[in-house]
Amino acid sequence: MYNKSLAIIFITLFFTVTFLTNHIFSQSPAGLILGISGEVGSSSQKLTDDYLLVQQFRAEDSKSTLAYGLGVNVGVRLGNFSFITGGSYIRRGGGTDAEILGRNYTPRNPSATSPGPDLEVIVEDRLSLNLLRVPFLLGYQFGSDNFKFRISAGLGWNYGIGDKAIFTRNATWKDPNNLSVDINDVESDQDGFGVGHTYGDLSTDRFKKSFVSFILAPDVLFKINENGFIKLGVLYESYGRIVNDKFVINNNPPDGTTSMSSFNFQIGYEYRLDFGGGTF
């Protein structure tokens, strides 16, 4: 399934670029784009039903986590249009917070302090995915020689780095005197169901090893020398189904949905070279 999806992406992009080159921009200036960029912002998950990370209890709040990335870009410009690809290391994820009674919570760590049966337990779960992203973006730019505005949109192919995502849980309980006591719950790749957060296509693997995202990235370009531009912008990324289709909980396919999105600020540098010898 993954190979078929990738083949469709590459074939579509190939014919798109070929068409633009031969039919629309044959008389327009063209050139090469090389760049490096970093991004930082926030990422969040939306989980429902069985995908919630707090045991059998429904999380009250969805929390954002730090998102960041660093990568290189390569592309071509055809008139005011551009096609950009490259490769980036990125971190995405999210979290949930829940408040439950101590009678309904059992720490995974055998040496952890157990809460009293009627005391409030605050459970904070956080999930982070380390990914390699390859973007396929079509962009349009306008402006003067020294200042340009560009908006790009397209798809990203994401590949999980390592064997599993990073899952951590912090739980505290309050005694009658309102003193918070850390339960010292164990950090693990498993959630309250005892289910791991590994990448793969087995029934025990929660996440696909690779999946596709939608990217929208407006930015501005400031010319700093003959061939160089500073890039400032934002990047919104929304992920489709990231859960492995064969994943099961207690031998049953889980009910509910899971989705992930990210909003980041970008800064970067682009080196531009006109195929005719100048800049653009």
If you write DSSP's letter for every residue of 59-76 in order, what string do you get? Answer: PSEEE-EEEEEEEEEEEE
Q: Which domains does the chain have, with CATH numbers?
A: 2-93+127-169+203-274 (2.40.160.20)
Q: Which parts of the chain have pLDDT scores under 50? A: 23-25, 54-55, 186, 192-194, 277-279
Cα(179)–Cα(174) distance, integer angstroms: 5
Residues 11-39: pLDDT tens digits? Answer: 666 656 565 555 444 556 788 999 999 99
Tokens 């995908």 locate to: 51
Q: What pLDDT is attached to residue 83?
A: 93
Q: Quick check: helix, strand or coil at residue 16?
A: helix
Cα–Cα distance, 11 to 214 (Å, whole number): 18
**Amino acid present at 189:** D
Q: Alpha-carbon distance 216 to 230, whole Å? A: 19
Supply the pLDDT for residue 130.
93
Give the burial string for 167-179 (b: 16+ CB within 10 Å, else e).
bebebbbbeeeee
pLDDT of residue 278: 46
pLDDT (tens digit per residue) in 128-163: 899 999 999 999 999 888 899 999 999 999 999 988
Going by the DSSP 8-state scheme, the letter that residue 252 receives in this structure is B
- pTM (global) more than 0.75: yes
